[in-house]
Amino acid sequence: MNQQSKDNQPRKDNQPILPEVDNIVAVGAGKGGVGKSTIAVHLAVGLKRKGFKVGLLDCDIYGPSIATMTGIEGTSPQLNNDRKIIPFDANGLKVISMANFIPKDTAVIWRGPMVHGAVKQFLSDVDWGSLDYMIIDLPPGTGDPPLTLAQTIGVTGAVIVATPQPLALNDAMRAAQMYQKLGIHILGIVENMSYFICPNCNTIHDIFGRGGVRKAADKANIAVLAEIPLNLSIRTNTDSAHVEDNFDKTKNPQIAPILEEMINKLIKQVKFRNENYPKPEPLVVKKS
């Protein structure tokens, strides 16, 4: 990835990054395996279906999966005349994933500074253009990427993804605290794999327990954006890059209304944040 501008001069620190992106939403989780990337891609697709111009940035450096979910796996990035990377077009969604910059099935073994540099390049060296929303899928945990994000751009807010069991929930709330310490507004939490509806008898099974996320969110004054059940269609459509089918009430009547409500709540939370809080600015870390 090229770090220099068209005239071969380094980008000046006072140049704004992503000046044409109205809202930047980070999607994070306290631990892996909770479906964070799945939620990120559904947020992006759902917003696009509402008519917004949307970008999806896969910053899950160690486990990039957005390329598979959006159908751009195996494609190579191209540069424009200004030597900036052109995002891939996934049915009207602008997408960049680390998976498109490394050989398939290759493990990324990077220390913090390399991850920091990659995240910054995905933000500054990609021609994102004008966007209403940018959804950023971050690695799980409380490592370097969220801090890099906070220091580089003004983040509108974060969406936290958790599953109902206490172990995942505790980690999710720690992630929420991290974002708050970085000055990033929490837009809401999504409880994924919330329950399972038996396809034979329609009985609801609380496989991982239930109610913990809502209770913790209420205590922390965080909105619950959705409680999404375990659903075979979500898995199969996501793996085959047919995420849009999950929003189709004919093809997936059980899930589509839940996803639609999640998107509506996110839009409402972003509007509330923008109307009631100062414009987000990059985090300034004072040197000791």
Is 9 a residue whose pLDDT tops 50? Answer: no
109 domain residue, yes or no: yes
Q: Among residues 285, 268, 256, which one has the least CA distance to residue 42?
A: 256
Top pLDDT among 101 and 274 is at: 274
pLDDT tens by residue, 274-284: 999 998 988 77
Q: Among residues 93, 66, 120, which one has the least CA distance to residue 239?
A: 66
pLDDT tens by residue, 33-58: 899 999 999 999 999 999 999 999 99
Could you please report the per-residue DSSP string of 153-218? Answer: S---EEEEEE-SSHHHHHHHHHHHHHHHHTT--EEEEEEEEEEEE-TTT--EE-TT-SSHHHHHHH
Which pLDDT belongs to residue 144? 74
Is 3 a residue whose pLDDT tops 70? Answer: no
185 domain residue, yes or no: yes
Beta bridge partners of 25: 135, 157
Which pLDDT belongs to residue 285? 57
189 domain residue, yes or no: yes
Could you please report the per-residue DSSP string of 118-132? Answer: HHHHHHHSB---SEE
Top pLDDT among 64 and 7 is at: 64
Residue 52 sits in which domain range? 21-275
Burial of 202 (0-12, 13-18, 19+ CB in 10 A): exposed
Is 112 a residue whose pLDDT tops 70? Answer: no
Give the number of domains in the chain.
Answer: 1
Share of the chain above pLDDT 90, in %: 50
pLDDT tens by residue, 220-270: 999 999 999 998 899 999 999 999 999 999 999 999 999 999 999 999 999
CA distance 168 to 249: 30
pLDDT tens by residue, 157-167: 999 999 988 87
For residue 111, what pLDDT band results from cuts at 50, 70 and 90?
low
285 domain residue, yes or no: no
- Measured over the CA atoms of residue 73, residue 115, residue 183 and residue 128, the dihedral's sign is negative
Helix (H, G, I), strand (E, B) or coil at 250: coil
Q: Among residues 251, 210, 214, which one has the least CA distance to residue 231?
A: 251
Say if residues 247 and 161 touch (Cβ distance below 8 Å): no
147 domain residue, yes or no: yes
pLDDT tens by residue, 130-152: 999 999 998 887 667 888 888 88
Query: How many of the other CB atoms lie within 10 Å of CB of 45?
Result: 25
Is 108 a residue whose pLDDT tops 90? Answer: no
41 domain residue, yes or no: yes
Which pLDDT belongs to residue 10? 38
Which pLDDT belongs to residue 7? 36
| Mean model confidence pLDDT for the chain | 86
134 domain residue, yes or no: yes
Which pLDDT belongs to residue 250? 94
220 domain residue, yes or no: yes
Is 2 a residue whose pLDDT tops 50? Answer: no
CA distance 206 to 249: 24
Q: Residue 210: give its domain's CATH number.
A: 3.40.50.300
